[in-house]
Amino acid sequence: MCCRLRLDLRELRRKSGAFFGSREGTGSVSVVAINTTCRRVHISQKKRKNFTTKTCPVCRIAQDLLAGPGRKITDVQRNKNLQKRKAEIMFDIGIVGGGTAGMTAAIYGQRAGKRTVIIEGGNFGGQITSSPNVENYPGIASVSGSEFSMNLLDQAMKLGTETVVEKVTGIRDEGGIKVIETTGKEYPCRSVILATGVTHRHLGVPGEEKLTGAGVSYCATCDGAFFRGRDVAVIGGGSTALQDAEFLSNYCKKVYLVHRRDEFRGEESIVRRLREKENVEFVLSATVNEILGDTVVEGVSLNNKKTGEDFRLDVAGVFIAVGQIPQNEQFAETVKLDGAGFILASEDCMTSHPGIFAAGDCRTKEVRQLTTAAADGAVAALAACRYVAEH
């Protein structure tokens, strides 16, 4: 619930602990209110009116804000505020996301002598922790995804990286200082690297949501062992689906690999290995109609795209591996996103906002791989170091 407060400058600063100054290009601002839900300071440039209606960009609640006394922040005051805030800054580089890109960035940041924090909303490691076996990282013939990511975290922490487990809700820029907002706190930083990765795409078919955790899974390495000796289906044709099918074939009686085309997107070498497995069957040019079962998965209803016929596979588990989607909505007001929600940034990892960089799968790019995530982490960290040195 947003509150409406009439506050003067000093009171506002005391209540919010927030710094505020003029917006770019404006000589003065009128403080109008602070939203106590999201702790965002609202400012208005409509000095002559008593009310202004604004939708809070964090909690999305439209509200009538009472106009305050309309005090001007002079240039002197503004500079004082800025200096004070700069003195309070804790971190040179704030990294949002603790996957491969984020942790690599932390290693590079710490080695360059920068105070670095990684803020992770869930588990450190990111997507690769679900990979049973990584075989395409240069110099490492074979390693499990979880071992790879734990080594990375260990390396980053031994170098002095600070870690926080909190969900990041947004970033705001206060006179060049980037404040990372989380559900509980705020982290002022000189630069920010967004390395939020991607999340599992859902099929969106009947039964999927209801039976998630009751036979429907998005992580074969996490849940595969529950299906020992049973029949399962893996949906998808990318590297994740292929790896999942291979992993599950070690536990399950039968693995159906269901793909909507008759060519795989994933690595050919895994496809070759799967063809040789007796308990793996390819079900190609087939789409999923529905996941069947009342309380647990009992089967999956499919459609043969070539003949148009529906058919059923009796399986106890359905592993969905149909790609990933970005989750960058909370940054949409700070950095530009493309139509699919990826952060617009090229190989230099620069976003539309100076001092904020994007690394790994969360940014627009052609190749989303472990190696490219690590490469981005290094590029973004070095760019952030340069930015910090120059500002």
Rounded to the nearest whole angstrom, what is the least distance from the CB of residue 375 to ligand NAP in the complex? 13
Question: Judged by CB, which is closer to ligand NAP: 257, or 383?
Answer: 257
Output the smallest distance, CB 153 to ligand NAP, in A: 18
Cα 56 → chain centroid: 22
Tell me if residue 135 falls in helix, strand or coil: coil
For 202, the token pair is 């859902």
Phi, psi (deg, nearest 5) at residue 115: -75, 120
Verify whether residue 385 is a known catalytic residue: no
Interface ranges with ligand NAP (CB under 6 A): 131, 134, 136, 203, 235-241, 243, 260-261, 265-266, 321-324, 368-370
| Residue 191: C-alpha distances to residues 31, 64, 136, 390 (Å) | 26, 33, 32, 11
Spatial separation of the C-alpha atoms in residues 35 and 339, rounded to whole Å = 30
Nearer to ligand NAP, 266 or 355 (CB): 266
- Distance in Å, CB of 235 to ligand NAP, minimum: 6
Dihedral over alpha carbons 149, 150, 154, 160 (to 10 degrees):
60
Name which of 179 and 373 has its Cβ closer to ligand NAP.
373
- For 345, residues 6+ apart whose C-beta sits below 8 A from its C-beta are 351, 357, 358, 363, 364
Per-residue tokens: 158: 């031994």
| Whole-number Å distance between alpha carbons of 192 and 195 | 10
Residue 93, CA distances (Å) to 5, 40, 323, 361 in order? 34, 22, 30, 19
Catalytic residue (one of 64, 75, 222, 314): 222
| 294 catalytically annotated | no
Residue type, 144: S
- Tell me whether residue 219 is one of the annotated catalytic residues: yes
| 346 within 8 A of 352, measured Cβ to Cβ | no
> In the complex, which residue's CB is closest to ligand NAP?
238
**Beta strand 254-258 with 356-358: parallel, antiparallel or unpaired?**
unpaired
Complex with ligand NAP: residue 138 or 184, whichever CB lies closer: 138
Least distance from ligand NAP to the Cβ atom of residue 204, Å: 7
Closest approach, Cβ 100 to ligand NAP, in A, equals 10
State in angstroms the smallest separation of the CB of 104 from ligand NAP.
Answer: 15
**Residue number with CB closer to ligand NAP (33 or 292):** 292
Choose between 116 and 372: whose C-beta lies nearer to ligand NAP: 372
Cite the active site residues: 219, 222-223
